[in-house]
Structure 1
Amino acid sequence: MRCALPLPSLASTGRDINFDLKRVEGYRNFCNKIWNASRFVLMNCVDGDSNAKPIDQTANPDVWELPEKWIMSRLNSSIKDIHQHFAQYRLDMVSQDIYEFIWNEYCDWYVELAKASLNDDSVTDARKAQIRYVLLHVLETALRFSHPIMPYLTEQIWQTIAPLLGRKNTDSIVVADYPQTEASQISEQTEADMAWLQELIASVRNIRGEMKLGNAVRLPVLLQNVSADEEARLSRIKNQFKALAKVESLDIVKEGNEVPLSSSSMVGQLRVLVPMKGLIDPTAELKRLGKSFDKLQKQAEGISRKLSNEGFVSKAPAQVVESEKAKLAELEGQLTAMTAQMEQLKAL
């Protein structure tokens, strides 16, 4: 068995479980995810002749940026949670901690952020050496805390990863030290900054999907209703945001300034906008909006006729009549907004 996670992940204390083949398939995919992430790390840490590229052997927080500070904070937060859940005999929670950290945080986010920096010619060699260290350190540590419930895969990868950091001081990961929490590296501010960055990136990706724009297209992005605290936070994450969201330009719209016709999304009170001009075919968009307008108008006319019928108004319960009036008001609002949007499109 490559991974013993499926059963403990389901088995909370005192619960009988049925064998779930889908869960086994899911954790097979998890093993593949770890294997592929390890291959990426090795490709960026070892050259074609199997010689190690410049890799720092110790942490140097002075050259860390948000991604490094965040993944080290999350690593130590996860180790803390894993120890707590082992002490409580909550193997289901241990499994969840391991899965969430490796898949959703290390693989899906930090590896992607590191890839952007390692491929950026403007990033210094000193920083790249530290990024390689963090990639290896986090992966090696994650292999050690995953080993008790994922023995064979972690052993195989650890035998290759550990020597690159000078950590293969035992013959097997089985007798390597279990990771301990370094509380000084846990930062609530850093984790909050990263969570906000993830929301911003998700909002731009949603807009990209709605506008049917490929990842190759770099988007101009405007931010509206930006607070002073958010502007300060933005200065700390701007480069990572532009790299991962494939953003060409990023500007803050000052209060009172006119905003061009844009597709938008909300992150709290902050509004993320992508101007449409030059990114879409106005004729095709007008045609799409026209069809939606006709559909909404028919719905509004049907409700209006119903409310004009004295028999319906007098016999229907009051809450039903009020509900129909609310639906009509909402439809009329959507039609007004759509009309304004179509007028703007005609001007493009």
Structure 2
Amino acid sequence: MSPDTPAHVDDTPAYIDTPAYIDVHAHFVTDSYVRQARAAGHELPDGVPAWPSWSAKAHLELMDRCGIGTSMLSVSSPGVHFGDAAAARRLAREVNEAGAETVREHPGRFGLFASLPLPDVDGALEEIAHAYDTLDADGVVLETNTHGTYLGNPDLEPVWAELDRRGAVVFLHPTSPVCWEQSALGRPRPMIEFIFDTARTVTDLLMSGTLDRHRDLTVIVPHCGGALPVLADRINGFMKMFMPPGTEAPDAVEQLGRLYYDLAGPALPRQLPALLNLAGTDRLLYGSDHCWTPAAGVEAHVAGLDAVPAPGGAASWRALTTANARRVLPRTAR
């Protein structure tokens, strides 16, 4: 089923004569999740003023106003692991079941990127199997670090190997670094820390060879790549400098160009042009960051993209990003 022609009249998008956006960066929360996160000390998550509220009904109403056909739901920072591995396994299963139920209740309008209880490798492998084989998830979401374990850590290799075996879509999402008490300077971590933690974990994946080893993955980097477009050449130079003698260094810029990037956040007027110097137009996907970005912010973001020409002769940013999303998320093309 196409997201442009939903099955239910009540769910019909407003933009029926143009391609509907496919939102790869959309979040949900449940009352139980927020309650457990608060109990673990996340009263003001990542330093933002308050937890957002979320309902499928309100989300669909926003999607219809903005011409978004399908939203891929995921749990944002601080993720599901609050320090207790057994509790993290239970919470990952709980939110994944809740997300899958929303997908079933609104065919064609939502998809699911399942949460994993990293850095618990055995728990993550178990949840990958449940997410794909039972819940029919569209991919997984991985926080940039969990208690200081970044995604290139060799202990996580079995998780990457299993995701690669399944040809998984892996959506990266930033979270606070362990040093945020000093580095954030008392300011909300999503402003700066999230952007650099994205660069930190992707650099770790490059330096560890994880991306080079696992080429059947589809990796989505959020927020126009954060700081990566301006750091790519610097990362590439240091990779070549620190390779063992006689070893040919992989091309970091080439590897970064193989990743996908969503347009969530203030993409225009400066960040998106920088990204286009790193990645081809076939690697760009739409992202709203709702519900953490309020409805008014999403509406303004969509209006901004709709008002400017798309690159490469594409009819619109809608047409460009939707065609790319349908290619990497096959269910959205049906």
Q: What is the TM-score with the length of structure 2 in the denominator? A: 0.26
Instruction: Choose between structure 1 and 2: higher helix proportion.
Output: 1
Q: Which has the higher contact order (CA 8 A, sep 6+)?
A: 2
Q: Bigger radius of gyration, 1 or 2? A: 1
